Amino acid sequence: MCGIVGYIGDGEATPVLINALKKLEYRGYDSAGIAVLGNEGLVVRKAKGALKFLEQKIASEIIKGTMGIGHTRWATHGEPSDINSHPHTDVSGKIAVVHNGIIENHAKLRTWLEGHGVAFRSQTDTEVVAHLIDFHYNGDLLQAVIETLKRIEGSYALAVISENDPDRIIAVRKDSPLVIGAGRGENLIASDVPPLLEHTREVYYLCDREIAVLYRDHVDFFDEEGTSLSKKTVHVEWDVEAAEKGGYEHFMLKEIHEQPKALTDTLRARIGTAGDRSINLEEIGFDASWAEANRVVITACGTAWHAGVVGKYAFERFARIPVEVDIASEYRYRNPIFNPKDIFIIISQSGETADTLAAMRMAKKGGARFIAITNVVGSTLAREADLVMYTWAGPEIAVASTKAFTTQLMCVYLIALQFGLLRGTLDREELAACIAALEKIPEQAGAVLANKEEIQRFASRQFNKTKAFFMGRLFDYAISLESALKLKEISYTHSEAFAAGELKHGPIALVDESTLVVAICTQTALFDKMDSNIKEVKARGATVLVITYEDESYFDRTADGIFRIPRTLDPLSPILSIIPSQLYAYYCSVLRGLDPDKPRNLAKSVTVE
Ligand code: F6R
């Protein structure tokens, strides 16, 4: 996720662009840049790091011009660096482009353009767009953009300016947001509404495959063939602060709602388009040698460790390989036994967690190869890993991890399934069934979110409970761990997770009328066992919420409340069954008058040991 902005009007563009980018920093903050068109031609300035570094860079110079585009980046292709920052230009430096999204066929286009003599400067997917526009430019920038759109695949919100075609900005979108602000004597574009509000509350929402051409005094719209369209403005009522969270009260709620999109992005690039619907991990450099491992060792901290616990069950189920999963802060102080045929999977949203990095370096010293699953391109973990699989979740701002977790699960499943195929423990038919189920998950996650009021109602009755226990078996136990963590970290409720079979070995002594028990029940073969556990805690006075499939009636008589999720294959249920718990934790936090985005004593990235 990146943020793009554009301005054309009577005022100076630079301060407008910088101000607008400040409002979009939540979308990405690893580098930023602007391109301004004035009497001196096109001036491009960019800098790695937070926006303030760009501001420092341009503080001592005056960049004159009344139109321009800008970008705040969250790296996907190419590490954060000055050169990979946007805007990108064609060879002559006369055409500048900013982009939010992923050009999926960039590698092919790059080779093709190189064959036509183009020398690339950056490692980004975006640079191909600037060169393609130049390639198709025949005196009309709009036509060159239309021709370029015919050749690019993937998701994009693009803004383009050219020295040869001054006095207009061309903007286009597909699967990435773009809003046009209609001002007086000025028009703007932005990835989201907040940057526009200082200028206007009249906006056009650009739809997929629509093109906007912004002039100082009006905006024209076209479809991707160049046929003229008419669009109406929408009046925005939002206050500025709400707008920065996309209308959500908190970043956490916004990020919970971003899961369908994040899951789609994480999955899409890894599913082959060949008829057999295979998993394609070539982009991360994964080959058959990885599956020759004798053992998989997974290490991580917190939520990422919970993704690892799901991973253990998934690897055992699909790939029949021994798996060890350990908390990084434990692993690094143990005296673990390394085997040259072990492979490590290190999971970290930030890629900077001190204990996780220490465990990773220890494994490296022991001669192990490892795959990193991380959300941050260019993070220390990504730089030091043998292979990197990115979770394309976009920046996660809220301290409590949500979309990073579900996308980590998606990555873990893809690796486990590919292992299974390569090791011959999963046949093509089973693999195809799993892929088909994974492909449905983003939409199903949307369906879970559509029922969020049910969780909200349940939370409004239970939020004052002082004790909450989550229980489940196998994959549901892993999700119980993550659910309990979510609730405790943002609502400060004392919550714990138990493997349901362990209750009678001690924890049941804690259960009384003041206890909420959430039973996660998606492992069909163990429903009767879970039913007995539910009856045991109910007999001690607990209130029981069951999370199970929408078409399942097994628990109708035992539960006090049931939250239903769409049916999927039992081993894949964690991606869906965690969402009700994320929502429950969120609502409890808000009902207790807390700020779920800023829980006490916690930081987003734990870079201390
Ligand atoms: C909980 C949470 C933390 C992190 C943990 C590891 O919601 O976010 O438990 O999962 O601090 O962080 P990363 O994944 O950045 O290594």
The pLDDT assigned to 508 comes to 93
Q: How far apart are CA 324 and CA 296, in angstroms?
A: 6
375 lines ligand 1 (CB under 6 A): no
What is the distance between the alpha carbons of residues 67 and 57, in angstroms, rounded to a whole number? Answer: 19
What average pLDDT does the chain have? Answer: 93
> pLDDT of 193-231, one tens digit each?
889 999 999 999 898 899 999 999 999 999 999 999 999
pLDDT digits (tens, 9 = 90+) for 281-306: 888 889 999 999 999 999 999 999 99
- Which pair of structure tokens corresponds to residue 193? 């509404």
Count of alpha carbons within 13 Å of 66, Cβ hemisphere only? 14
Confidence at residue 609, expressed as pLDDT on a 0 to 100 scale:
64
Taking the centre of ligand 1 as the mean of its atom positions, its distance from the CA of residue 171, in whole angstroms, is: 37
Question: Could you tell me the distance, in angstroms and rounded to a whole number, from the CA of residue 300 to the centre of ligand 1?
Answer: 9
- Per-residue pLDDT at 240 exceeds 80: no
| Per-residue confidence band for 32, with pLDDT thresholds at 50, 70 and 90 | very high
533 lines ligand 1 (CB under 6 A): no
pLDDT higher than threshold 70 for residue 241: no
Alpha-carbon Rg for the chain, nearest whole angstrom, is 25
Cα separation, 362 vs 339, whole angstroms:
13
Work out the pLDDT band at 275, boundaries 50, 70, 90: low
Three-state SS at 548 = strand
Residue 606 is predicted with a pLDDT of 75
Confidence of residue 236 (pLDDT cuts 50, 70, 90): confident
Catalytic residue among 64, 231, 467, 604: 604
Could you tell me if 537 and 503 are in contact, meaning their C-beta atoms sit under 8 angstroms apart?
yes
Q: Cβ atoms within 10 A of the Cβ of 485, count?
A: 23
Ligand 1: does its nearest atom lie under 6 Å from the Cβ of 358? Answer: no
Place of tokens 């693009």: 158
Tell whether ligand 1 has an atom less than 6 A from the beta carbon of residue 581. no
pLDDT of residue 527: 97
Q: In whole angstroms, what is the distance from residue 564 CA to residue 2 CA?
A: 34
Residue 122 has pLDDT above 80, yes or no: yes
- Whether 281 and 464 have beta carbons less than 8 Å apart is answered as no
For the CA of 400, the nearest atom of ligand 1:
7
CA-proximal residue: ligand 1, atom 16 (nearest): 348
Task: Taking residues 33-52, report their average pLDDT.
Answer: 94
pLDDT band (50, 70, 90) for residue 247:
confident
* pLDDT computed for residue 339 by the predictor: 87
Nearest residue to 510 via CA among 528, 525, 496, 521: 496
CB 323 within 8 A of CB 316: yes
Mutational test site, ligand 1, from 301, 396, 597, max ligand atoms within 8 Å of CB: 301
Q: Which tokens is 474 given?
A: 């196998």
For residues 511 and 517, give the distance between their C-alpha atoms in angstroms, rounded to a whole number: 9
How far is 510 from 439, CA to CA, in rounded Å? 41
440 in active site: no
Q: Which atom of ligand 1 is nearest to the CA of 305?
A: 10
The DSSP code sequence of 570-609 is GGGTHHHHHHHHHHHHHHHHHHTT--TTS-TT--SS----
Nearest CA to ligand 1 atom 8: 401
Q: What is the pLDDT of residue 538?
A: 96
The per-residue pLDDT for range 385-404, each reduced to its tens digit, is 999 999 999 888 899 999 99
Asked whether 407 lines ligand 1 (CB < 6 A), one says: no
- Residue 456 Cβ < 6 Å to ligand 1: no
| CB-CB contact of 471 with 484 (8 Å) | no
Active site residue 403: no
Which pLDDT band, with edges at 50, 70 and 90, does 239 fall under? low
